[in-house]
Amino acid sequence: MSIVSSDPPGFELPLRLFLAFRVLIDDLHDELARQGHPDVRPMHGFVFQAIGPHGTTAADLGRRLGVSKQAAGKTIDTLERLGYVERGTDPHDARRKIVRLTDRGTDCLALSARIFDRLRAGWAQTLGEDRLHALEADLRSVTPAEPFLLDVPGWFGNS
């Protein structure tokens, strides 16, 4: 006599988690496009976070993202062309070139934060605030304490 499990197969969990991430990110980018940022791509959010408020070099950006300096440089070129970042000289070391967010880049980050708050509120309405809090607490218990792992682009790209 065999017992058939009603549990979903193990591979469904990562797919559902990724799908939930994808739904949030797609909704975010739809709204960013409506509010004046149609060219921003999901990876750009990781780049903006990795650049941070004080800027960074292309080499450091690549390390933070888990990609090569050349890949980081191409992304910087794209974001510079779109007006989200600018290159400049490090005020502490004239030999170093620093990449910084422009006002447009900073605006995009702030807008993203507001949109994420609205998306979360939508999930709370659908699931109920208590269930969403429980989901968030459960995810915190099975994930690293540091929520801002920025090397996702490199992690996805590694073969």
Could you report the per-residue pLDDT of 9-49, keeping only the tens digit for each?
999 999 999 999 999 999 999 999 999 999 999 999 989 99
Structure tokens that stand for 103 in this block: 């006002």
pLDDT at 21: 93
pLDDT of residue 159: 39
Q: What is the pLDDT of residue 6?
A: 87
Side chain identity at residue 147, one-letter code: P
Residue type, 36: G
Q: CA 70, CA 78: separation in Å to the nearest integer?
A: 13
Q: d(Cα 79, Cα 142) in Å, to the nearest integer?
A: 34
DSSP-derived 3-state class of residue 90: strand
Structure tokens at 98: 């620093």
Kind plus residue range of the DSSP H or E element containing 65: helix 58-65
Residue 56 backbone dihedrals phi, psi, to 5 degrees: -160, 170
Q: 97 near 90, Cβ under 8 Å?
A: yes
What is the phi-psi region of residue 55: left when phi exceeds 0, alpha when psi lies from -120 to 50, beta otherwise? left
Name the stretches of the chain with pLDDT < 50: 158-159
Mapped onto helix, strand or coil, the DSSP state of residue 94 is strand
pTM for this one? Answer: 0.85
pLDDT at 147: 62
